[in-house]
Amino acid sequence: MAIVYGLKCVANISVLRKLLAFAVVSLAPVVLAESAGVTLPASESVQIESLSTDFELLEDRTGALDVEAVSRAPANSGFVAGSPEKANVGFSKSAWWVRLTIHNPGAAARDLYLRQGYPLIDLLDVYQPAGGGWARLSTGDRRPFGSRPVAHRDYLFPLTVAAASQTTVYVRYSSQGPVDINLSLLDPDKLVETLSREQLAYGVYFGCVLMLLVWSGLVFVAVRDNAFLAYFGYVSVFGVYMTVNTGFAYQYFWPDSPAWANACLPVLLCLSLITALEFSTTILRARDYTPRLNLVARVLQGLAVVAIALTPFIEYAVLIKPVTFLIFVAVVFMIGLGVICLLAGSRPARFYVVAWGAFLAGSVVFLLKNFGVVSHTFMSQHAWQVGALLEMILLSMTLSSRMNELKHQSRTDPLTLLGNRRLFDQRLPIEFAQALTTHRPLTLLVLDIDNFKTFNDRFGHTLGDEAIKMVGGALRRYARKPVLACRYGGDEFCVILPGTNAEAAAAIAERLRASVETGSNPEHGITVSVGYASLAPVGEQFTSAEKLFDAADAALYSAKQAGRNRVAVFNGRRKEDPVPSTGVETPQATRSAQ
């Protein structure tokens, strides 16, 4: 009996399972039909920013299906429920169909706009029921801009849903680029509000780009530095690319040229890469700091030129992927270049590294969105634009650092890296006036290389330059703030010693003379003669900075007349005065052993 009872229970369970399975299969289309779509509010405004969970999605791998085929019963054949992840398809050779059912329970018809927010879709077709058939609206950036029902950078499709009814809309996507399904539903009032806010935001964005462009152009005209020209080119090209990416370029620049509207994308990206690398190598002085990486930058620029040349011959879908990869590699390279130059001492590299880091972060998010890895959100869609704007602003700060560097270079002697004649002429009068005002001592050294013309004639100008650099190196070792050492011209140097009296200046001058003598190659025998003059805090004997310089120069002349390779103090005798016949040096003069 127990066995028979058990068999009956098993049979009953089997029957229940079959009934449950039948119920699920039978009711599944009903559940899908009721859960899919969007229901309009009876009396409120309509503003649904994302329909990704309200529509259904179908992949057409061959691209051969038409609206009759995809709308034919059974209702759930091939369509799957949408989601933010599925809506961002990325690069795909398939055509994609969206089915959206709109329910209007109200007593009045509703006028709506279906908006596709990503403008770079090649072919976009919208089908609405009309008179037992389908009304078709065909547009996309492979078709003339005039094909759009509303003249806007995005795609806006007017819909009307009758009172107490529902309508089902089909949208077909096909594109060589990323397929980003970003549908929203708005009534006319909400659409106007949304577009107004967006226009303001884009106005601010492109206004900032324009200001950076004007600023860099004006500065280049003023300073004639190639870094500003390269930055101007980069902002120009990338700014135009941003107008393409946002749809403004197709709307305003070339609405009747769909072929160019698509071909210009890789062209502008490659031009942006070329100008960005040119700016990077110039602002960071890569040729000086990292010659090998400078060569790598040229190789990357060459690859970008090749990509531009291939644009007329290779389909966009084939070309855009390697171009995107090339840009990603180039951005990583530029960050690495900035870090290396920063460690090597490049001052503009500080803002440069942060700038390209911000751009890389935005680029990665945007590329992940394009390849369908992350869903379409406001941040993922505009991450590149935000990162690019931050990058351009930070790069402008890099250029400000460059301006300071140029200012420093304009006052620096390139051979010795000491101050130049311009800096000396600026600083000596200032230090002289401060010394008079504060009643502090001030000493000026003037020195040059002994028999330098003979040295040049014997060993050549190359070794002559090396001799000048060697003396400059010795001066740099002793020129700590507030001391200022400058190359006055040729083989002549000046050292301003604020707060230094004659006794201390004599010791410094002697150390400089000895340092040059012992540091030079014995075969060359480089020596210097030094003359100095001091402005005492009490009883000043000089009425101007020029008089102080003339006195130090006269002391140098005295050192030369006394046999060279020595230090001499100004003794009241000018260069034009006759040299005493006794040959006795002043008590303050010192002389090294020959």
Q: Which residues are catalytic?
A: 491
Strands of 442-449's sheet, edge to edge? 484-489, 492-498, 442-449, 528-535, 566-569, 590-591
User: Can you read off the two tokens belonging to residue 483?
Assistant: 């001391």
Amino acid at 511: R
Cα dist. 387→200, 236, 360, 382, 551 in Å? 19, 16, 7, 8, 60
Stretch (H or E) spanning 445? strand 442-449
Query: What does the buried/exposed string (b/e) look like for 130-165 if buried means 16 or more CB atoms within 10 Å of the residue's CB?
Result: eeeebeebebbbbeebeebeeebbbbbbebebeeee
Q: Could you tell me where the DSSP H helices lie in 284-315?
A: 286-289, 291-310
Nearest to 261 by CA among 325, 175, 197: 175
The total number of residues shown for the chain amounts to 594
Instruction: Kindly give the pairing relationship between strand 95-104 and strand 38-39.
Output: parallel
User: Can you read off the two tokens belonging to residue 528?
Assistant: 């210097």
H helix and E strand count, the chain? 17, 19
Distance CA 397, CA 352 (A): 8
Residues contacting 422, CB < 8 A, separation 6+: 410, 411
Amino acid at 546: E
Residues contacting 149, CB < 8 A, separation 6+: 137, 139, 156, 157, 158
Is residue 588 within 8 A of residue 565, CB to CB? The reply is no
Distance CA 62, CA 28 (A): 27
Stretch (H or E) spanning 535? strand 528-535
Name 412's bridge partners.
419
Name 98's bridge partners.
57, 171
Cα dist. 100→33, 171, 180 in Å? 11, 8, 16
Distance CA 300, CA 287 (A): 15
Is residue 358 within 8 A of residue 387, CB to CB? The reply is yes
Distance CA 408, CA 428 (A): 17
CA triple 376-111-246, angle to 5 deg: 30
Distance CA 46, CA 57 (A): 23
Query: What does the buried/exposed string (b/e) look like for 167-199 if buried means 16 or more CB atoms within 10 Å of the residue's CB?
Result: bbbbbbbbbbbbbbbbbbbbbeebbeebbeeee
Residues contacting 548, CB < 8 A, separation 6+: 428, 432, 442, 444, 533, 535, 542
Is residue 237 within 8 A of residue 271, CB to CB? The reply is yes
